[in-house]
Amino acid sequence: EDQVTQSPEALRLQEGESSSLNCSYTVSGLRGLFWYRQDPGKGPEFLFTLYSAGEEKEKERLKATLTKKESFLHITAPKPEDSATYLCAVLSSNTGKLIFGQGTTLQVKP
C-alpha cells in the first residue's frame, strides 16, 4: 500500500536554528515527490518536485533532498515567516494518485 509518513508532527525552532523535516514513503513506483507549504486557512503552495534519488532542490532557506526511501526538507537559519505546515506527497506511477503525508507544523520564534 502506498504510504507517506512525516516527522516530527510539530517542530519549534528559534530564529536562526537550522533543522530538518523528514518524509518517509513506500510507493509502487515513484513518479515524483512533492513538497508544499500550507499557511493557516490557505491551500498548499507548491515548493519542490524531486524525481530521483540523489536529487536536490533549493529555494531561499529551504533545501529538499531525496533518497530511495525518504526525503528531507532542510531549513537553514529559519525566520518567523517560515512558520507554516509543510506537506510531503508522492505520485504513484501505479495508481497515478498523489498521496499526502500528515504534515509537519513548524513554528519559528523570534
Partner 1 sequence: SQTIHQWPATLVQPVGSPLSLECTVEGTSNPNLYWYRQAAGRGLQLLFYSVGIGQISSEVPQNLSASRPQDRQFILSSKKLLLSDSGFYLCAWSVRGKPQHFGDGTRLSIL
Quote helix, strand, coil % in the chain, to nearest 5: 5, 60, 35
In this structure, the dihedral spanned by the alpha carbons of residues 98, 108, 21 and 99, taken in order and rounded to 10 degrees, is -10
Binding-site member from 34, 73, 90, 108 for partner 1 (CB under 8 A): 34
With binding defined as CB under 8 A, does residue 110 bind partner 1? Answer: no
Between residue 87 and residue 106, which ones bind partner 1 under the rule CB under 8 A? 87, 89, 97-98, 100-103
Using rule CB under 8 A, residue 44 touches partner 1: yes
Can you give the binding site for partner 1, defined by CB under 8 A?
A: 4, 31-32, 34, 36, 41-46, 49, 87, 89, 97-98, 100-103
